[in-house]
Structure 1
């Protein structure tokens, strides 16, 4: 037993210089990767208007340099061919590892496509499936979204790429609508109520007037009651406050304007 331990100790001492050199090379590679990634990210963000792409390219450069450092360290240790042979002969382990790397590779490639295709930018409001919120980041595996109730959701890049994605703020303009039912009384017509609504909407600075002017469509008329659908365009940069709160305010104020003009307004619906 003592002889075996002594043999192992001698082998460890023989391999120790290589271990130290390999560890030093790996640490240097990590240090250089972090520094280059920080400098590259800062320069790209200054020269590009797309912070999402700049951050993603900086992350890729960091991991490529770390991978190169790891390969050099393995070569120093003489393990360049060992890892491949172990994975090739691992049987069930290779099967499991293969699935793990399949997921990683799929999300990585999806992240590359998202970074260059750019279906969204930082702070854009998007909807994926039933999730809606602001995009806060994109890394090698996940897309970070913050919902309006403050939850941070990490979505796999492959899911974001495959699922239908609605971007509410990319164009910078968004059309909203709501339905108002008006009791016209005996003499009034839908055109009179429409004039009242449009007159009010044209006085609101947040409502676009040109080239996308607000308009009202008559959806249904029965007796003295008319259903009018109101359409308006607004700036979509802040979807939560700038759009949804504006819509809520307009719905309430349109109701008051119509009542002030002598109309009865039973209800307002979206």
Structure 2
């Protein structure tokens, strides 16, 4: 029994010594493939970001190129070790493998394909303000599985790409222009009509540089009027590049200033709503 054990160990040791050079070459090749993939991915990403206005697409393509090169290095390493049959089976049975992997890892495959679609058919760019299922924030990243948005209160939300692709998405900043509105109630005196209040509001809005004047001029609609009050809805357009600070804070400032203008003209303002 001891002689048989010694013979088996000796046989396996000889096979190991025979395979060892190939194993070292395959290991070195795989490490080199990973290193080259990281370098090429970083270089490609930098080139694409410098020549493209869409850094999200550049990062996505760089990540895909990285994993393709790593996979290619792994296949070559397996071929060096003598597993050419396995490599041929993997390549030849790509369709069956894709079906099995897609079934077993449905969510991962779905998010990956959704990420590819989002990368090329882009509903947003980096730093765009978007809303998905009631979640509002700036887009910070898109990778092979998730879309990262940062809310206005500093929270990072990792959304699966499949959700971003399927759910209705509101982009507040893609067009560069956004209309805002607010409602103001004005007390009407014996000599005061809604037109008087409208003129005061429009005269003030024409003096605000952040409010667009042409071709999207501000305007005021009369929504409801009684013997003593009139409800006026004020509409204005603003640059939406910075949604929170550029639009929401502008709206807040306009609401306060419009109220002061009306009060300064002798008109009462019982209520003001966004």
The verdict on a shared fold, with TM-score over 0.5 as the criterion, is yes
Regions of 4+ moved over 6 Å: none
**What's the CA shift for 1:187?**
2.0
Of residues 238, 246, 249, the one that matches 1:242 is 246
**1:183, 1:7 → 2: CA distance?**
102
Where structure 1 has 5 or more consecutive residues not aligned to the other structure, the ranges are 89-94
Cα distance in 2 for partners of 1:242, 1:118 equals: 24
Q: Give the drift of 1:256.
A: 0.9
Gaps of 5+ in 2: 94-98
Partner of 2:173: 169
Partner of 1:143: 147
Tell me what 1:134 maps to. Answer: 138
Counterpart of 2:96 in structure 1 is none
Q: Deviations over 1:98-140 (max 9, x none)?
A: 5453222211111111111111011000011111100111111
CA distance in 2 between partners of 1:245 and 1:175 (Å): 14
1:36 alignment counterpart: 40
Q: For the aligned residues, what is the CA RMSD?
A: 2.2
Does residue 258 (structure 1) correspond to residue 235 (structure 2)? The answer is no
Please point out which of 14, 21, 43 is paired with 1:17: 21
Between the aligned partners of 1:187 and 1:100, the Cα distance in structure 2 is: 76
Work out whether residues 22 and 80 of structure 2, in 8 Å CA contact, stay in contact via their aligned partners in 1.
yes
CA contact (8 A) 2:185 2:229 kept: yes
- 2:200 alignment counterpart: 196
Deviations 1:11-34 (A, max 9, x none): 433332222122111111111111
Give the total of aligned pairs.
263
Inter-partner Cα distance in structure 2 for 1:72 and 1:182:
78
Partner of 2:159: 155
Tell me what 2:215 maps to.
211
> d(CA) in 2 for partners of 1:16 and 1:189?
95
Which secondary structure state, in structure 2, belongs to the residue aligned with residue 250 of structure 1? helix
- Counterpart of 2:236 in structure 1 is 232
Range 101-110 or range 126-135, more displaced: 101-110
Query: Does 1:122 find its partner at 2:126?
Result: yes
Residue 5 of structure 1, CA deviation: 5.0
Distance 1:80 1:109, change over 3 A: farther
Distance in 2 of aligned mates of 1:29 and 1:190: 74
- TM-superposed deviation, 1:97: 5.9
Structure 2 length-normalised TM? 0.89
